[in-house]
């Protein structure tokens, strides 16, 4: 055999062996088979064990956990008496309140480093809804049909509402025509001016001729009633008013605790009643106590839900009537609305207005809302002025509503 032939044969054998090895290897992404279950890697220097000589792992049957694996599985324990159960609930609520207090203390600490909030800084979310559309409107130098469409879409997206948006743009059309406006920049200025004019109005909270003045806070649960009372109480006591807080939310004990924390923080007095008690009675007592002490203002909290089957709206109109019966006068019924709920807030406003003659709106959580336009919808549809705005969770995060600042902030381009 010639040496060349021998080299060719060796090379061919090499290729065949390499190919076989490659085929046996798992390709990328292929799952490698792990060791058989229960077999642990052997420690260096130890003898391999015969798998047949090993006992199988002890399997303990664990009952499924309720709520994770199925609602039919119940975790049973000793039966609790009603008192024990109430004590457990109270302890849990107290712990929850302590957690919430600690969280708020931290938020307050962080906020203390900031300046007092303003619309421009806190309306970032609402502004972002507008800015894209505005950029597009402004990118065309002249006003055309598309400019109007885009403006309308921007307003509706920001929850101004269809009716109010059309009303607003109709008024702007008149201005554009009368003043011969032609550029997009002029159009946007005209929209801003119209909005400012429509939203303008006094935001001062009315006081009674003879003390005590009563301001009642109403709204569905979780909107920020108690927090608003806390913030406002701080503002009032800082300016020298004597404040009594009335824990008219008797739905849960923690509600009075929460108000009590705010009262302590700002040096206000707290009047509270029994959990599940009559809210009207608590507020009546608070007014009597304020009158006896010569306090200036009663800030009355109410529940967003009730223990009994009574209709919330009926209950609130009773609260209002009873509050007025004593020595004080109700001069403001402030409907607290969560700005993040958008048009739903308008629906709530309608219901509450029917029950209690709402005198103003406190719009909370505007800091986290992309729906700043709801301010406009409320004013335009219900004629109720937004008087206060919540821009965060701490005592300084409550500002008087200022239509010029609000509209400028909403339209500001970053
Ligand atoms: N970001 C932000 N959070 C707020 C604002 N106002 C209130 N909150 C938060 O909203 C949550 C609910 O506030 P509460 O004051 O307890 O609401 P409430 O209306 O009294 O609720 P109920 O007592 O259950 O009816 C709390 O965590 C507050 O800190 C605000 O303006 N901005
Ligand atoms: Mg509350």
Q: Which atom of ligand 1 is nearest to the CA of 251?
A: 23
Closest alpha carbon to 350 in 315, 378, 330: 378
pTM of the model: 0.73
Nearest-CA residue for atom 29 of ligand 1: 393
Q: CB under 8 Å to 56, separation ≥6 — which residues?
A: 38
Tokens of 17: 């062996």
Tell which residue, 211, 214, 208, has the closest CA to residue 248. Answer: 214
Determine if ligand 1 sits within 6 Å of the CB of residue 393: yes
Residue 368 CA: distances (Å) to CA of 15, 37, 339, 340, 343:
68, 51, 8, 7, 16
Helix axes 184-199, 403-411, angle to 10 degrees: 150
Q: Which tens digits make up the pLDDT trace of 57-82?
A: 444 433 333 333 333 333 344 567 77
Residue 196 in this model has a pLDDT that exceeds 90: yes
Q: Which of 393, 371, 27, 101 is nearest to 224 (CA)?
A: 393
Q: What is the model's pLDDT at position 197?
A: 94
Ligand minimally distant from the alpha carbon of residue 222: 1
CA of 387 to the centre of ligand 1 (A): 17
Q: Quick one: which ligand is closest to 262's CA?
A: 1
Q: Is the pLDDT of residue 365 over 70?
A: yes
Over the stretch 39-57, which tens digit does the pLDDT of each residue have?
Answer: 444 444 344 444 444 444 4
Which residue's CA lies nearest to atom 21 of ligand 1? 222
| Residue 267 DSSP class | T
Give the pLDDT confidence of 122-145 residue by residue, as tens digits: 777 767 667 777 788 888 889 999
- Which pLDDT does position 248 carry in this prediction? 93
Residue 255: CB within 6 Å of ligand 1? yes
Yes or no: say if 157 and 129 are a contact pair by the CB < 8 Å rule.
yes
414 falls in which pLDDT band (50, 70, 90)?
A: low
Query: 224 CB less than 6 Å from ligand 1?
Result: yes
């Amino acid at each position: 055999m010639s040496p060349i032939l021998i080299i060719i044969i060796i090379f061919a054998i090499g290729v065949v062996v390499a190919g076989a090895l490659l085929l046996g290897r798992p390709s990328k992404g292929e799952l490698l088979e792990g060791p058989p279950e229960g077999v642990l890697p052997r420690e260096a220097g130890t003898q391999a064990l015969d798998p047949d000589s090993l006992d199988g792992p002890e399997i303990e049957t664990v009952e499924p956990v309720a709520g994770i694996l199925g609602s039919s599985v119940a975790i049973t324990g000793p039966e609790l008496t009603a008192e024990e159960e109430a004590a457990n609930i109270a302890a849990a609520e107290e712990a929850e309140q302590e957690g919430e207090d600690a969280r708020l203390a931290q938020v307050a600490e962080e906020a203390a480093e900031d300046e007092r909030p303003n619309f421009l800084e806190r309306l970032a979310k609402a502004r972002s809804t507008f800015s894209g559309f505005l950029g597009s409107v402004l990118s065309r130098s002249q006003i055309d049909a598309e400019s109007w469409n885009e403006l309308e879409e921007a307003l509706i997206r920001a929850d101004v509402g269809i009716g109010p948006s059309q009303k607003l743009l109709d008024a702007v059309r008149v201005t554009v025509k009368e003043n011969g406006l032609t550029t997009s920049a002029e159009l946007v200025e005209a929209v801003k001016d119209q909005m400012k004019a429509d939203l303008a109005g006094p935001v001062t909270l009315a006081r009674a001729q003879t003390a005590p003045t009563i301001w009642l806070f109403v709204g569905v649960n979780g909107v920020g009633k108690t927090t608003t009372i806390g913030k406002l109480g701080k503002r009032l006591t800082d300016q020298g008013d004597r404040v009594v807080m009335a824990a008219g939310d008797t739905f849960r004990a923690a509600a009075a605790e929460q108000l009590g924390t705010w009262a302590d923080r700002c040096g206000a007095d707290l009047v509270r009643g029994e959990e599940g008690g009559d809210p009207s009675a608590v507020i009546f007592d608070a007014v009597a106590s304020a009158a006896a002490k010569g306090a200036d203002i009663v800030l009355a909290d109410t529940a967003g839900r009730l223990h009994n089957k009574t209709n919330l709206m009926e209950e609130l109109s009773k609260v209002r009537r009873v509050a007025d019966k004593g020595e004080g006068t109700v001069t403001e019924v402030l409907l607290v609305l969560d700005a993040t709920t958008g048009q739903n807030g308008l629906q709530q406003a309608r219901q509450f207005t029917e029950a209690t003659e709402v005198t103003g709106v406190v719009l909370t959580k505007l800091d986290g809302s992309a729906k700043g336009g709801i301010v406009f919808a409320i004013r335009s549809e219900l004629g109720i002025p937004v008087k206060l705005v919540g821009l965060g969770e701490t005592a300084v995060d409550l500002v008087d509503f200022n239509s010029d600042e609000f509209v400028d902030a909403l339209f500001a381009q970053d």
